[in-house]
C-alpha cells in the first residue's frame, strides 16, 4: 500500500518570504498523481496543485510550485511571496492509477503559519 | 464553492445512536468518496461509489455503511456510535478517469457525546 509522509508538523514563514513544505511517498507504481491540498480554518479542502508522475516538468500555479523528484519519491511544495491567506494546513496526497479507484492517500499534514 | 454539498454541517449525538450523513456530488460527477478526518488518524479514505456501485473500500468500520442512489447522491450511515467516531466527515466527487480532480464538500462535523 502507498504511504505519504510529511515530516514537518508545523512551519512558519514571514509575509512575502518563501517557504517549502516537504513530502515523501512510498510506492511501487510507475504512474500516479500527486497533489497538494490546503485546508484553511474554514475546513474546506482546496486543491492547490497537481503533478502527473509521467511529466518531468514541475507543476506551477501562480505563487505555488512543486519540486518533484521521482527517483527520490519526493514532492515538495514551494510557496513564494507568502501571504496571510496562505496560513492553513497543507496536505500532500497520492493517487494511484491502478485498481480502478481514484482514491487519495493523504499525509498527516503541515500547519503553516504566516507572520506579518 | 466546490459544487459538492454536504448536510448537515454539524451533528451532535450520543453514544450508541445512529446518524446519516448526506452528500450531493457536483453535477455530472459519477464518483463519490467518503473520508474521515480526526486528530489522531488524519484523513482516512472510507469508501468510494461509482454510478451507484461500490468501487473501493478503505478503513471503514463494519458499523459504517454507505450507498449511492440513482440520482447520484450518497449517504453515509454510522451506527452504534462511539466517542472515537467524533470526526469531520468529508465527501468528495469526481468525474470518470484518474485525470479527474477530486472536489471536496465542506464536511460534516460529528460530535459523539
Query: How close does chain B come to A44, measured CA to CA in Å?
Result: 5
pLDDT at A100: 66
Query: How close does chain A come to B82, measured CA to CA in Å?
Result: 23
Which residues of chain B have a CB within 8 Å of the CB of A44? 2, 104, 106-107
Q: Give which of A83, A73, A69, A74 is closest to A112, Cα–Cα.
A: A83
Of B98, B103, B107, the CB nearest to A33: B98
CA distance B102 to B91: 10
pLDDT at B41: 83
pLDDT digits (tens, 9 = 90+) for A66-95: 999 999 999 999 999 999 999 999 999 999
pLDDT at A78: 98
Task: Report yes or no: B113 and B13 within 8 Å, Cβ to Cβ.
Answer: yes
Is A111 at the interface with chain B, CB within 8 A? no
Cα A34 → chain centroid: 7
Do the strands A74-79 and A64-69 form a parallel or antiparallel pair, or are they unpaired?
antiparallel
Of A91, A101, A108, the CB nearest to B55: A101
pLDDT digits (tens, 9 = 90+) for A2-33: 899 999 999 999 999 999 999 999 999 888 99
Which residues of chain B have a CB within 8 Å of the CB of A100? 55-56
Query: How close does chain A come to B103, measured CA to CA in Å?
Result: 8
All residue ranges of chain B with pLDDT < 50 are none
Amino acid at each position: 500500500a502507498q504511504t505519504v509522509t510529511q515530516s514537518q508538523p508545523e512551519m512558519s514563514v514571514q509575509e512575502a518570504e518563501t517557504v517549502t513544505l516537504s513530502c515523501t511517498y512510498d510506492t511501487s507504481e510507475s504512474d500516479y498523481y500527486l497533489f497538494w491540498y490546503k485546508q484553511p480554518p474554514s475546513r474546506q479542502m482546496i486543491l492547490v496543485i497537481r503533478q502527473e508522475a509521467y511529466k518531468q516538468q514541475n507543476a506551477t500555479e501562480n505563487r505555488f510550485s512543486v519540486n518533484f523528484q521521482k527517483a527520490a519519491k519526493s514532492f515538495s511544495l514551494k510557496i513564494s511571496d507568502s501571504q496571510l491567506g496562505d496560513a492553513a494546513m497543507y496536505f500532500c496526497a497520492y493517487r494511484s492509477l491502478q485498481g480502478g479507484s481514484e482514491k487519495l492517500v493523504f499525509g498527516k499534514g503541515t500547519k503553516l503559519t504566516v507572520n506579518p | 464553492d466546490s459544487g459538492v454539498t454536504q448536510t448537515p454541517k454539524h451533528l451532535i449525538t450520543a453514544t450508541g445512536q445512529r446518524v446519516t450523513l448526506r452528500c450531493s456530488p457536483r453535477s455530472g460527477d459519477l464518483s463519490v468518496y467518503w473520508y474521515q478526518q480526526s486528530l489522531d488518524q488524519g484523513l482516512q479514505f472510507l469508501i468510494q461509489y461509482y454510478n451507484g456501485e461500490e468501487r473501493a473500500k478503505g478503513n471503514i468500520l463494519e458499523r459504517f455503511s454507505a450507498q449511492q442512489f440513482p440520482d447520484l447522491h450518497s449517504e453515509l450511515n454510522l451506527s452504534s456510535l462511539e466517542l472515537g467516531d467524533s470526526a469531520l466527515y468529508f465527501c468528495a466527487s469526481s468525474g470518470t478517469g484518474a485525470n479527474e480532480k477530486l472536489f471536496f464538500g465542506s464536511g460534516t462535523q460529528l460530535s459523539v457525546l
